[in-house]
Amino acid sequence: MKDENRTYKTYSHQFGNVIEGTSKVYCDFEPADATTYEALAFWLRELGIFPDRRTSEKKFIWALSDFCMAYMSSIDGRVFWPSANAEFTDSAYGGTFVRELKKALEGQYLQKVQPSSKRDRLCAVYKIRIPNFGHALKFKPHGLSPAIQVRSPKVPRAGHSTGGHKLSLKRFDQEEVSRLHNEVRLIRACMAAHPLNHPTGATFSTITRIFNNSDLEQGGRSYGSYQNHSESVRLSMTIDLEPVCEIDLKSCYLAIIAGKLSKRLPDDPYSILPYVQKHQGTDRFTEARNLMKLLVSKLLSVDGEPTSFPKGEKVRGEDGKVKTRTVKQKYNVPKKVSAKSLYDEIYQTYPFLKTCDLDVFKLMNIESNIMTATILQLALADVPSYPVHDCLICKVSDKDVVLEALRENLIHYLGAVPALDITYPNGTCQIYKADYPDHYTDYSEITNYPEEDEDYSVIDDEDYQFLEDLTDQELGEGRKGIEEEKYTPEVWQSTQHANAGYQNQPKSGNP
């Protein structure tokens, strides 16, 4: 996830500029020793909460444990803490415990710094702190809350989307639910032994796998608080005091579709599109390439053939007013260039997209299965890795092992290995060319569809929602950035990046 293309949501129609949360209070932890339990029990009494049953006390202690873990994995104590009952379906404790605890913590230990907004689909952000107990607190996963979630479909209504609620896992095949649970718990155990550490001291050691549309075969990406941070910040983190790198599956959705159809993609699937080729060798090449990548994402995210540009973004002008910057304005698209003409270029270059029956959630599921299988395989070998959708964070010293595991699972699911790149803490990027079997045909070797003579009314700023989000945190997922690359026979080395000051990486791959 390249920094220049990550779109954090820092504005709101209702509140203007907004404060970003950096961690979420999950429902996963309990004290790891008696000293920590006694300290939290004392704190609970200090807050004026005196449970009448041992089981109730334990649930409050678990909630305080999650509160402390969220604080330790946050930046400046800024967290999300949802308390609606639906958030605690099948969890170790319910929303009533959270709401009572929130009320007791308000003021001294919890302050709301950003209200929620239904209009802008924003969660509230809290600034929290914990007392100085005079000794370290120790926590461990209790394993009682679901390691997976299934969310209901999101339905557009009156200009907004509704749904996306957490569902009870009891309605799904229990054998499959148990299998998925066990996979994520094994991964979590490895993460707990090898946490991802932020330079500030915050630690990350858990993920939750979330499925969409009430279906265990749609979506399924793994989410964790570390994903709230930009690539440059993530690359400043460490595992076992060692530097990390990110291994990324390039052009992920295109690569999945091509793999399923036994097609070879070119080294750079976006740079061969005519609109991008027109800017080859100019300072607008990366801008044009990013635009076409965005349009491919929309094309794969909507029913039917899209005819408009994605929705623009809100920016605050010099006068302090929030205005819409359209996609055409952001990417300097000439007025005479329509969205339809650019989508036609994509279909003409990759005609197999016209017959693709994989929607974005099915593509996401294939992607998530590949990544989950890889990190599980690695976890069983005590090699930690942390997923960020279509890329993996791992120790630089483990990159060869992680690459091999990822290659094995790509071959299993796709029959081929698409292009991969590795980004190091110093910003250099090492790229490995795709590896296709001999029987895979070139991407263009398929019947071309004639252009349809249709009368389109193109609305450049028509509402468009990219179909992926990080639960309800609304940090704006953003899209993968792209660098212009030059290629060598075995390893591609990225050219100097215009914004991040990338330097060419030695062929050995050592940062």
Least confident of 174-178, 429-433, 437-441: 437-441
- Does residue 76 fall inside a structural domain? yes
> What is the reported pTM?
0.75
Mean local confidence (pLDDT), 442-468: 34
Give CA–CA dist 224/23, Å, rounded: 8
**Which tokens belong to 419?**
């292009």
- Does residue 436 fall inside a structural domain? yes
DSSP state, 215? -
Convert the pLDDT of each residue in 332-389 to its tens digit: 999 999 999 999 999 999 998 888 888 889 999 999 999 999 999 999 999 999 999 9
DSSP 176-189: HHHHHHHHHHHHHH
Same domain, 479 and 351: yes
Give CA–CA dist 268/182, Å, rounded: 37
pLDDT of the residue at 509: 38
Helices (H) and strands (E) in the chain, counts: 12, 27
DSSP 304-339: S---SPPP-EEEE-TTS-EEEE-HHHHTT--TT--H
pLDDT of the residue at 233: 93
Half-sphere exposure of 411 (CA within 13 A, CB side): 9
Band (pLDDT 50/70/90 cuts) for residue 504 is very low
- The partner residues of 323 in beta bridges, in order of sequence, read 315
Band (pLDDT 50/70/90 cuts) for residue 71 is very high
pLDDT of the residue at 161: 67
Mean local confidence (pLDDT), 139-160: 83
Which range has highest mean pLDDT (251-265, 400-414, 486-500)? 400-414
pLDDT of the residue at 284: 94
- More confident site: 90 or 178: 178
How many beta carbons lie within 10 A of that of residue 508, not counting itself? Answer: 8
- Does residue 25 fall inside a structural domain? yes
Determine the 3-state secondary structure of 32 from DSSP. Answer: coil
Residue 62 has pLDDT above 50, yes or no: yes
Q: Are 166 and 151 in contact (CB under 8 A)?
A: yes
Convert the pLDDT of each residue in 220-246 to its tens digit: 999 998 998 889 999 999 999 999 999
Alpha helices (runs of H) in 381-431, residue ranges in sequence order: 399-414
pLDDT of the residue at 305: 86
Least confident of 209-218, 332-341, 476-485: 476-485
Band (pLDDT 50/70/90 cuts) for residue 160 is low
Determine the 3-state secondary structure of 379 from DSSP. Answer: helix
| CA distances for 507 relative to 98, 155, 429, 482, 511, angstroms | 53, 49, 10, 20, 10
Which range has highest mean pLDDT (116-130, 377-391, 479-493)? 377-391
Which residues, including other chains, have CB under 8 Å from residue 351's CB and lie 6 or more apart? 444, 446, 447, 448, 449
DSSP state, 166? B
Pairing of strands 148-150, 208-211: parallel
- More confident site: 414 or 267: 414
pLDDT of the residue at 348: 93
* Number of separate domains in the chain: 2
DSSP state, 393? E
- Does residue 224 fall inside a structural domain? no
> Which amino acid does the sequence have at 222?
S
Dihedral over Cα of 286, 292, 298, 301: its sign: negative
Choose the final residue of a domain: 99, 128, 143.
143
- Does residue 424 fall inside a structural domain? yes
- Does residue 236 fall inside a structural domain? no
| CA distances for 446 relative to 264, 340, 345, 443, angstroms | 12, 22, 16, 7
Mapping DSSP onto H, E and C, the string for 371-438 reads HHHHHHHHHHCCCCEEECCCEEEEEHHHHHHHHHHHHHHHHHHHCCECCEEEECCCCCEEEECCECCC
H-helix or E-strand containing 119?
Answer: none
Residue 477 has pLDDT above 50, yes or no: no
Q: Are 291 and 343 in contact (CB under 8 A)?
A: no
Q: Are 298 and 373 in contact (CB under 8 A)?
A: no
pLDDT of the residue at 144: 86
Give CA–CA dist 153/162, Å, rounded: 8
Residue 115, domain extent: 8-143
Same domain, 131 and 277: no
pLDDT of the residue at 320: 67
- Does residue 55 fall inside a structural domain? yes
pLDDT of the residue at 446: 38
How many beta carbons lie within 10 A of that of residue 74, not counting itself? Answer: 24
Same domain, 294 and 433: yes
pLDDT of the residue at 14: 62
| CA distances for 205 relative to 63, 135, 185, 416, 457, angstroms | 17, 21, 11, 31, 49
Same domain, 127 and 259: no
Determine the 3-state secondary structure of 422 from DSSP. Answer: strand
Give CA–CA dist 210/169, Å, rounded: 12
Give CA–CA dist 386/384, Å, rounded: 7
Rg (CA), the chain: 24
Least confident of 228-242, 381-395, 405-419, 457-471: 457-471
Q: Are 425 and 244 in contact (CB under 8 A)?
A: yes
Residue 81 has pLDDT above 70, yes or no: yes
Summary mean pLDDT of the chain: 82
State percent of the chain over pLDDT 90. 58
H-helix or E-strand containing 36?
Answer: helix 34-46
pLDDT of the residue at 444: 56
Which residues, including other chains, have CB under 8 Å from residue 201's CB and lie 6 or more apart? 72
- Does residue 181 fall inside a structural domain? no
